[in-house]
Structure formats: structure tokens, C-alpha cells
Amino acid sequence: MRIAKLAGAAILLTLAAPIAGQAATLSRAPFGQTPSGEAVEAFTLTNAHGVSATVITYGATLQSLVAPGRDGVKADIVLGFSDAGAYARNASYFGSTVGRVANRIGKGRFTLDGKTYQLALNDHGLAALHGGATGFDKVVWKVLDTKSNASSASVTLGYVSPDGDQGYPGAVTATATYALDEQNQLTVSYGATTDKPTIVNMSNHALFNLAGEGSSEGAMGNILTLAADGYTPVDAELIPTGEIRSVAGTAFDFRKPTAVGDRIRDARDPQLVIGRGYDHNYVLNGKAGALRLAARLSDPKSGRTLEILSDQPGIQFYAGNFIDGTLVSKSGKIYRQGDGIALEPQHFPDAPNKPAFAPIRLNPGETYSNRMVFKLSVAK
């Protein structure tokens, strides 16, 4: 057992004892096909503690993450679907790798080296969202490598986005690696290179519910802590204004453990009205580029706890405000508003149009990277 700390809070955590003779394993299976007939595969990574992660080649997507609670009962804690066709039909981004540029670019426009680029406006005609109409989440990635040994199991996927794809300059070669180890850590590592100057800001769009996806109580009772003293408020189109605002004294303060739903309906804060709840980028404490604890999410009933470590400057917190009850889950339940919580490590939204935000430019000869660790444990 150990004590983990985040922003002054402490929680007692326990890890299951390893099972003699067992090691991390990897299995591979068909996962249906896209409407155009492309085959999709699923890779399941499993460790000796009862934790498993399933990754599919469509969208380099985290389709499942199974973790035990304090009573030993396992639950899948990420929202998703049961076959490739459902992912292709539903523009939900559940668990997907989003890019080239995650989040929003205002008006879908940016300027690079004096040239203005117009991207596809796939967010109600207002912005470019998560890479465009056919972003990284809507293509089948190629399997580059798989590994399994005594300490971990992993799969690496790759995709080449051609020059001009969705309006972006340069051909970008992207990789996504998912690795599960015996410390109950699922590490997601993104990389990218380009043949022309461009912009890149990839992330993972998993929506979590530590009570279990499809649970009747939803995710609003999950307890969230964020290692962030500030956030970036947005305008009426959910584009950051460029301001970095202190969370102190506001409904956006999650520096101490707080139930996600406690203040989400507080209409006194115009930012919550604009986003229909939380859909905002938080400015992570600590130095970008260094892996540090960014967030903790837990379910009081089961004790399941997820810590997210990140090397990025920000993390987008989205409380599932736009899930509208029209999607049927992999467990046969209807997903409703507030049934999942996204915590997406990344650079700030609309960075190319905000000089005060860290740039997301990528040049030939450089390598973009984004590393996040999803660490699972159980609270006593």
C-alpha cells in the first residue's frame, strides 16, 4: 500500500498482490469492419492484477479499460461501443485518438509562415474540432508493433495523414502506443513527424466513469481533483478568450477532491452556462515537458481510483454535457448527459490564434510527443 498526494489531499491506496507465474499478456481479435468494408482489429492487454485494456485500430481507440473495485468486482470504466460499425456511425470520440489538432480552432483558421489555412468547420459551422470531419478518430490505423513480456504488454499503431488532409499543411506520420504494466499503469504515448511546417496537438478522448460505464448513477458522483490553479475561460463558441483565470473562489476549483456534479448546474457562473457544464481547458501546475500528476478521479462506492500523469501544459475537462441519450453503449445501456468525464492532456485549445499560449507548431526534423499515464488503484 502507499499514500498518494495531489494538491494537499491524501488517500490510502492498495494494489492487488501479483499472481505467481502470471505476466502481462496480449491477445488479438477481429472487431468488425467500417461501412466501407475495412477490417478493424482489437488488441487486449491484460496484467496479473485483473486490469485489462482493449485498443481497436479504428481511431487508435481505447475501447475498454477494466479495473477491480475494493470488493474485487471488475468494471469497465470507459464509455464505448461493441463493434467497429457503431464507432463509425456515432461521432462520439469515445476513447479515440483525436488529431491532428485536438479540441477547437476558432473559425477553423490559422496562419503559418504568413499563409492562412482554412480547415473544415465540423463543430456546428463555428470551429474545426478534433482534427476535422475525418480526423484521426475516423480512420483505421496500421499495426506497427506488439510486445508482451513479464512486465508489460503493448501495441503500437500508426497513421499517415497526407499533405492537405482536412486543410492542414504537410504530410504527418503519427504513432500511438498503448502499454499496460504490472503497476496497473496504462501509458499512452503519441508521436508525430512532418515533411512541412504544420501544427499538431494530439490527445486521447476517453470518457471515464469510475462507477462503471453505463452505471445507473452516472459519473456526476465521481470525485475529481485537478492540479491546476487556473483555467482558460471561453467565449460563446467555446473558444478560449486568451485569458488565464484563477480557479480560486469559483465553481472551477477542483484543487481539493470534489464531486463533479456538486456545482455543475450553478447558473451564476456564465462559463458553466456557455459550456452546459464543464468543457474547459485547465492550466496544469508544474513544468510542461515533465511527467507529473495532473488529475485524480475516484468512485467512493467501489474505491476505484484513476490518477492521470501528463507532460502537457493543459488538460481539457469535459463532463459529458452534450451526450444526449441517443447512443447505446457496449453494455446495452443508453448513455445520458453526465455519464462520462473526459480528462484530455494536451496543449491549449486555439493555440495557433492565441500568442500567449504555448505554440503547437511542428517542423520537419522535429518529433511531436504527448505522454500520459492512466494509473489505477483501489482506495480502502
**Residue 321: Cβ-neighbour burial (10 angstroms; 0-12, 13-18, 19+):** middle
**pLDDT values of the chain reduced to their tens digit, one per residue, 380 residues:** 333 344 333 333 434 444 444 679 999 999 999 999 999 999 999 999 999 999 999 999 999 999 999 999 999 999 999 999 999 999 899 999 999 999 999 999 999 999 999 999 999 999 999 999 999 999 999 999 999 998 999 999 999 999 999 999 999 999 999 999 999 999 999 999 999 999 999 999 999 999 999 999 999 999 999 999 999 999 999 999 999 999 999 999 999 999 999 999 999 999 999 999 999 999 999 999 999 999 999 999 999 999 999 999 999 999 999 999 999 999 999 999 999 999 999 999 999 999 999 999 999 999 999 999 999 999 98
308 assigned to some structural domain? yes
Find the length of the chain.
380
Using DSSP's 3-state secondary structure scheme, residue 158 falls into strand
> In whole angstroms, what is the distance from residue 102 CA to residue 206 CA?
13
* Confidence (pLDDT) at 380: 84
17 assigned to some structural domain? no
Using DSSP's 3-state secondary structure scheme, residue 282 falls into strand
Number of other CB atoms surrounding residue 332 within 10 Å:
8
CB 293, CB 6: distance < 8 Å? yes
As given in the structure block, the three cell numbers for residue 304 are 476505484
Using DSSP's 3-state secondary structure scheme, residue 362 falls into strand
Number of domains in the chain: 1
CA diameter of the chain: 61
Instruction: Give me the CATH number covering residue 243.
Output: 2.70.98.10
85 assigned to some structural domain? yes
> In whole angstroms, what is the distance from residue 380 CA to residue 376 CA?
13
> In whole angstroms, what is the distance from residue 245 CA to residue 283 CA?
9
Domain with 180, as residue range(s), is 2-11+23-379
> In whole angstroms, what is the distance from residue 130 CA to residue 121 CA?
11
16 assigned to some structural domain? no
Catalytic residues: 205, 344
